[in-house]
Chains A and B, each alone.
Chain A
Amino acid sequence: MRVEVHDIHKHYGPVRANDGITLTIEPGRIHGILGENGAGKTTLMKILAGYTRKTSGYLCMDQVPVDYRTPTEASQLGIGMLYQDPLDFPFLSVLENFMIGQAVGLANQKKYYRKKFDSLAADFDFALRPNVQVNRLTIGERQQLEILRLLSLGIQVLILDEPTTGITNVQKDYLFSALKKMTSEGKSIILVSHKLKDVEAVCNQLTVLRRGKVTGEMKAPFDTDILLEMMFGQTPIPFNRCLQESGRTILELDNVSAPGGRSGLSDCNIRIRQGEVVGLAGLEGSGQDVFLRIAAGLLRPAGGSVMLKDKRMNAKDYHCFKHSGVFFQPSSRLEEGLISGCSVTEHFALQSDHKKFVTKWSDATSDAKKKMTEFRIIGRPDSLAESLSGGNQQRLLLSFLPRNPLLLLLENPTRGLDMESSSWVWQHLHKYCSDNTTIVFSSSDLDEIIMAADRVLVFFNGKMIKDTRTCETSSYELGLAIAGKR
């Protein structure tokens, strides 16, 4: 189906999220939408999917003007969307998630949908078990589930908003081959991303958005430099880091084992020095999450010893770690890090150093404005946390980091950030290290680890199986280790 978008505007108060966007999606193609954080990509896609109403403009499908107001009407027309933050039911089973919105009436139809689900999953080679609760799946598996569900609704145009953030390379390959299979069946795919590499790998055609407007279009093969300029107005400078080992050991784990996560952690021996940046690689939930939580004092190890600056910390709690200068930032933004329903100013006021009984809101607002310029958060002090674009939520989280921590533990710190923003974030973080702060972070992006870290630890199935300096390895070698082939 050929989808035409004509002069779409979407205004949120004074914010022009979309400011006159016109583009055409051809059938049987993968159409990429590129753009920096806050460019208006998600907004445009939500309009296409019927989730948000447009302020003005019109849509055509196969040359017929269409107007729809709800996701249901959109899916009846054949448009379905995979949202940036998974929009599913974590505490229901895979099969139930698959059925909601499809099954109707009183008759128990689990068997019928079970069959349908199994055959679709087999078609795409997705290994999903129907009776597992969705909160036990990885982000990649939740995407797979959602894709199957949309396909079984008979979707002709599939929109994917940032599908490659938070999934592993293996899952990315599965995803891309699924997408190619769908286009070969004549379906159109819209792939939204700020990762040039992913978009270049699969798309036939690209549209670049910037500040709510179309700044360029291109057909494959793509010229990366021109694309970067369309996205950011200039080409961002790549950065690199690999320092000599120095500093004394500040965190020491000896034979630590712990349950938790998908695989737990077993017999882990890790030493981390002062001033170091250490990247943790591995499939999601291979032990790096457990390691970070042990180092933060959120999980107690079942065996072994944890030493922080020569002090045994085994039975200590989170506050004790925090007191010693350890700071942990989890990856799920809206679930653990930010408070939905609170404005940016309120977030800063909550985190403020001088706690008084009465908050002076005028001061808080001007503080918030200052921080927002410092961290380049696009929005207004009274914007609610959930109304910020994905990338800006992440910047807001980063702005809460303390001034002089001993150890920063960051889970996917640049998840959802575009290239320019993430290089900005790392510049900011590396400044901490010159003040002798240590940073340990996990990331699903190997290139990021190689660029930003001095040393990388690879986790596989609950064990740390590789420990190497980033200048002595390559993403190919790390990729093998992640898959367990040392």
Chain B
Amino acid sequence: MNEIDFTILFASVIAGAAPIVLAALGETITEKAGIINLSLDGSILISAMTAFAVSFETHSLVLGFLAAAAVGAIVAAIVAVFSVYLGQSQVAVGFVLTLTARDLAYFIGNPYSRLQGLQIHPMPISFLKNIPFFGKIFFTHNLPVYFSLILIFVCWWYIYRTPLGLNLRSVGENPRAAYARGINPQKLQIIYAVCGGLMIGLGGATFSLCTKPGWGRPQGAEGTGWIALALVIFGGWHPIKAATGAYFFSFLQVMGIYFQSWLPTVPAQVFQVAPFPLMIFTLLLIYISQKESVLNWAEDKDRIKSILAMFSGRIPTALGKPYQPE
């Protein structure tokens, strides 16, 4: 068995998690405003394809990212408009879009399969990367990864520290009351769904231009949209907790690669697939830990209680119930 280099391990966890972090943050913002964007999985794929194709054709990474963000925003806008202005079910529209977007991505992306395209290069931050241990982990990445790290804190700060973020939460909690206070719930829901869509789109682009460079069928991003959706729920609709979940999932994936080299006789697919059931198992544990009987049991065990408290979270009260003006 080889030695593990922890700096490399953690650095790859952070790099690998970037697209999931972006998607989970986008979904968190959307759901905080009361809209469920269930199209995440398809949305990630179609924006990944768009990013690859556009950058391939235009030789511009920037255009690739922009186009992907736009596609993510458009898909989110469809879900939001159907729900907010047309009163349609967010779940139904989101689900149909997920399947449509995926098939569309494979269809349009077919000519770009297995081509050598552009790929974003690492940009180590010269004065920070020499900090022992942490320098290598945090400051040897490329721009989207830095962006994902910064965005976690920006989202948290925006949602919990600014008046605008307070308005955002108010709409997801009680849109009728928000309306009575001069906030336009419909407008905000559209705006934040679109903002969330932009982030999801950037997440997709990060997949095809840096985490798993290239386009093909399968691309390798399949399924992560569902994981991101679950992370939002089990992260208690809190951006930092959702992001932490993304890092855990990425850790499972990286460990899969290590195990593959340690146990060459086991088929490689096992380690590629294993993170998904393991993640679901972990989320199940988190769910059970929030059961009343477990919480009662932990009532007098301070350490366990504080750990359990970290997993607690509350669903935005009006999530998924579109507001109908009177």
Interface presence of B219 (CB below 8 A): no
Please state if A101 and B182 are interface contacts (CB–CB under 8 Å).
yes
Please state if B174 and A87 are interface contacts (CB–CB under 8 Å).
yes
Residues of chain B within 8 A (CB-CB) of A21 are none
Interface presence of A91 (CB below 8 A): yes
Known A-B contacts A71-B182, A101-B181, A105-B163; A89 and B170 likewise in contact (beta carbons under 8 Å): yes
| Min distance, Cβ A24 to any Cβ of chain B, angstroms | 25
Alpha-carbon distance A106/B163, docked complex (angstroms): 6
Contact with B along A61-100 (1 / 0, CB 8 A): 0000000001110010000010100011111100010011
Residues of chain A within 8 A (CB-CB) of B255 are none
Please state if A92 and B163 are interface contacts (CB–CB under 8 Å).
no
Q: What bracket does the count of chain A residues touching chain B fall in? A: 20 to 34
Please state if B166 and A99 are interface contacts (CB–CB under 8 Å).
yes
Interface-centre pick from A51, A91, A101, A103 (highest chain B CB count, 10 A): A101
Interface residues in A243-259 (C-beta closer than 8 Å to B): none
Contact with A along B166-183 (1 / 0, CB 8 A): 110110011011111111
Interface presence of A107 (CB below 8 A): yes
| Min distance, Cβ A271 to any Cβ of chain B, angstroms | 30
Please state if A101 and B183 are interface contacts (CB–CB under 8 Å).
yes
Please state if A103 and B176 are interface contacts (CB–CB under 8 Å).
no
| Of the residues B162, B166, B173, B326, contact of A51 by C-beta under 8 Å | B326
Interface presence of A119 (CB below 8 A): no
Alpha-carbon distance A92/B166, docked complex (angstroms): 9
Chain B: CB-nearest residue to A103 = B163
Number of residues on chain B facing chain A (CB within 8 A) = 22
| Min distance, Cβ A236 to any Cβ of chain B, angstroms | 33
Chain B: CB-nearest residue to A83 = B180
Interface presence of A237 (CB below 8 A): no
Please state if B317 and A91 are interface contacts (CB–CB under 8 Å).
yes
Interface presence of B303 (CB below 8 A): no
Interface presence of B164 (CB below 8 A): yes
Known A-B contacts A71-B181, A87-B180; A105 and B164 likewise in contact (beta carbons under 8 Å): yes
Interface presence of B314 (CB below 8 A): yes
Interface residues in A103-144 (C-beta closer than 8 Å to B): 103-109
Alpha-carbon distance A83/B181, docked complex (angstroms): 12
Contact with B along A205-228 (1 / 0, CB 8 A): 000000000000000000000000
| Min distance, Cβ B282 to any Cβ of chain A, angstroms | 26
Chain A: CB-nearest residue to B165 = A106
| Min distance, Cβ B150 to any Cβ of chain A, angstroms | 16
Residues of chain B within 8 A (CB-CB) of A88 are 174, 177
Chain A: CB-nearest residue to B181 = A101
Known A-B contacts A92-B173, A108-B161; A100 and B183 likewise in contact (beta carbons under 8 Å): yes
Known A-B contacts A99-B166, A104-B163, A108-B162; A87 and B177 likewise in contact (beta carbons under 8 Å): yes
Please state if A89 and B174 are interface contacts (CB–CB under 8 Å).
yes
Please state if B314 and A107 are interface contacts (CB–CB under 8 Å).
no
| Of the residues A81, A90, A100, contact of B167 by C-beta under 8 Å | A100
Interface residues in A229-283 (C-beta closer than 8 Å to B): none
Contact with B along A402-443 (1 / 0, CB 8 A): 000000000000000000000000000000000000000000
| Min distance, Cβ A108 to any Cβ of chain B, angstroms | 5
Alpha-carbon distance A81/B182, docked complex (angstroms): 13
Please report the number of residue pairs spanning A and B whose Cβ atoms sit closer than 8 angstroms.
65
Residues of chain A within 8 A (CB-CB) of B181 are 71-72, 100-101
Chain B: CB-nearest residue to A46 = B326
Interface presence of A52 (CB below 8 A): yes
Chain B: CB-nearest residue to A76 = B182
Alpha-carbon distance A87/B318, docked complex (angstroms): 14
Please state if A71 and B163 are interface contacts (CB–CB under 8 Å).
no
Alpha-carbon distance A90/B314, docked complex (angstroms): 12
| Of the residues A52, A81, A87, A100, contact of B166 by C-beta under 8 Å | A100
| Of the residues B166, B169, B180, contact of A103 by C-beta under 8 Å | B166
Chain B: CB-nearest residue to A104 = B163
| Min distance, Cβ B24 to any Cβ of chain A, angstroms | 22
Interface-centre pick from B166, B169, B326 (highest chain A CB count, 10 A): B166
Alpha-carbon distance A479/B142, docked complex (angstroms): 71
Please state if A51 and B180 are interface contacts (CB–CB under 8 Å).
yes
Alpha-carbon distance A280/B174, docked complex (angstroms): 32
Residues of chain B within 8 A (CB-CB) of A109 are 163
| Min distance, Cβ A277 to any Cβ of chain B, angstroms | 34
Alpha-carbon distance A72/B158, docked complex (angstroms): 24
Known A-B contacts A100-B167, A100-B170, A109-B163; A91 and B326 likewise in contact (beta carbons under 8 Å): no
| Min distance, Cβ B314 to any Cβ of chain A, angstroms | 6
| Of the residues B162, B166, B317, contact of A107 by C-beta under 8 Å | B162
Residues of chain A within 8 A (CB-CB) of B177 are 87-89
Known A-B contacts A71-B182, A87-B176; A52 and B162 likewise in contact (beta carbons under 8 Å): no
| Min distance, Cβ A95 to any Cβ of chain B, angstroms | 10
Residues of chain B within 8 A (CB-CB) of A87 are 174, 176-177, 180
Please state if B170 and A75 are interface contacts (CB–CB under 8 Å).
no
Chain B: CB-nearest residue to A341 = B321
| Of the residues B161, B162, B170, B183, contact of A92 by C-beta under 8 Å | B170
Residues of chain B within 8 A (CB-CB) of A72 are 181-182
| Min distance, Cβ B167 to any Cβ of chain A, angstroms | 7
Q: List 8 A-B contacts (CB under 8 A).
A: A71-B179, A90-B173, A91-B173, A100-B166, A100-B178, A101-B183, A103-B166, A107-B162
Given A51-B180, A103-B166, 7 more A-B residue pairs with CB atoms under 8 Å apart are A49-B180, A71-B180, A91-B317, A101-B183, A105-B163, A108-B161, A108-B162
Q: Which 9 A-B pairs have the closest CB atoms?
A: A101-B181, A72-B182, A103-B163, A87-B177, A89-B173, A100-B170, A71-B180, A106-B162, A108-B161
On B, residues with C-beta under 8 Å from A are 158, 161-164, 166-167, 169-170, 173-174, 176-183, 314, 317, 326
